[in-house]
Chains A and B, each alone.
Chain A
Amino acid sequence: MAPPEESRDTGRFATLVGRFAPWLAALGRLTRHQVRFTLLLIGAGWGTLRESLRPNSWRRPVIYEFRATLRQVIGGGFLSIVITATLAGLMVVSQAAYWLGYAGMAQMTGSILVSVLVREISPILVGIILMGRSGMLSLTEIGMMVLGGEVRGLQARGIDPFLVLVMPRTFAFTVGGFTLGMIFAVVSLLMGFVVAHASGAITSSVWTFFFNVLAAMTTWDYLVIPLKFVLVGFFVGLGACISGLTVSSNDTMATIMPRGFARGIMLVLVVNILFMLDF
Chain B
Amino acid sequence: MAANAPLLELRDAVPSFEESGLMPAPYNLRIMPGECAVIDCRDFERAAMFADLCTGMIPLTQGSIKFMGLDWSTLYDRQLNALRGRIGRISRHGSWLSLFGTHLNIMLPHLYHTTDPFEHVVRRATELGHTFGFPGLPITAPDRLSGADLARAACVRAFMGRPDLLILEDISDMLPEETVLPFFETMTAARDRGCGVLWFVRSSAAWHAYRKAVNIHMRLLDEGLFSLRVV
Structural contact, A164 and B94, CB atoms closer than 8 A: no
Whether the pair A160, B55 counts as a contact (CB closer than 8 A) is no
Interface residues of A in 66-93 (CB under 8 A from B): 68
Taking a contact as CB atoms under 8 Å apart, the answer to whether A153 and B91 are in contact is yes
Question: Chain B 37-67, CB within 8 Å of chain A: the 1/0 string?
Answer: 0000000000000011001010000000000
Shortest C-beta distance, B102 to chain A (Å), equals: 14
CA of A164 to CA of B85, assembled, Å: 14
**Could you tell me if B84 and A150 are in contact, using CB atoms closer than 8 angstroms?**
no
Q: Which parts of A153-201 form the interface with B (CB within 8 Å)?
A: 153-160, 164
A60 CB within 8 Å of chain B: yes
Could you list which residues of chain A lie within 8 angstroms of chain B, going by C-beta atoms? 59-62, 64, 68, 141, 145, 148-150, 152-160, 164
- Judge whether B89 and A156 touch: CB under 8 Å: yes
B93:A158 contact, CB within 8 angstroms: no
B94 near A150 with CB under 8 A, answer yes
* B96 in contact (CB, < 8 A): yes
Judged by DSSP, the binding face of A is helix
Give the A-B pair count, Cβ closer than 8 A: 67
| Contact mask for chain B residues 82-112; partner A; CB cutoff 8 A; 1 contact, 0 none | 1111110101011111110000100011011
Known contacts A60-B112, A164-B112; is-contact A158 B95 (Cβ 8 Å): no
Give bound CA distance, A152 to B55, whole Å: 12
Partner of B84, one of A60, A61, A157: A157
* A158 with B113: CB separation less than 8 A: yes
13 pairs from A and B in contact (CB 8 Å cutoff): A59-B111, A60-B118, A68-B99, A145-B97, A155-B84, A156-B95, A157-B108, A158-B82, A158-B83, A159-B85, A159-B112, A160-B81, A164-B112
Q: Of A150, A156, A160, which one neighbours B97 at CB under 8 angstroms?
A: A150
- Determine if B111 and A157 form an interchain contact, defined as CB atoms under 8 angstroms apart: no
Q: Is the CB of B84 within 8 A of A158?
A: yes
User: In the bound complex, do residue A159 and residue B94 qualify as a contact, i.e. CB atoms below 8 Å apart?
Assistant: no
Query: A278: shortest Cβ distance to chain B, in Å?
Result: 36
Asked if B52 and A158 sit within 8 Å, CB to CB, the answer is no
Task: Kindly provide the distance from the CB of A206 to the nearest chain B CB, expressed in whole angstroms.
Answer: 43
Question: Roughly how many angstroms separate A154 CA and B94 CA in the complex, as a whole number?
Answer: 9
Q: How far is the CA of A59 from the CA of B85 in the complex (A)?
A: 14
Cα(A157)–Cα(B91), bound, Å: 10
Least CB distance, B151 to chain A, in whole angstroms: 16
Residues A158 and B109 in contact, CB atoms below 8 Å apart = yes
B122 within 8 A of partner (CB):
no
**Pairwise interchain contact B85-A153, C-beta atoms closer than 8 A:** no
Interface centre among B55, B98, B112 (most CB of A within 10 A): B112
Contacts of B109 in A (CB 8 A): 157-159
Inter-chain contact A156/B84, CB cutoff 8 Å: yes
Q: Are B80 and A158 in contact (CB under 8 A)?
A: yes
List, in ascending order, chain A residues with CB within 8 A of B86's CB: 158
Set of chain B residues within 8 Å of A68, measured between Cβ atoms? 99
Q: B177 on the interface (CB 8 Å rule)?
A: no
- Does B111 lie within 8 Å of A156, measured CB to CB? no
Instruction: Using CB atoms, name the residue of chain A closest to B81.
Output: A158
B18 at the interface (CB under 8 A from A): no
Q: Let me know if B77 is at the binding interface, CB within 8 A.
A: yes
| Interface of chain B residues 139 through 185 with chain A (CB within 8 A) | none
* B contact residues around A61 at 8 Å (CB): 104, 108, 111-112
A145: B residues at CB distance < 8 A: 97, 99
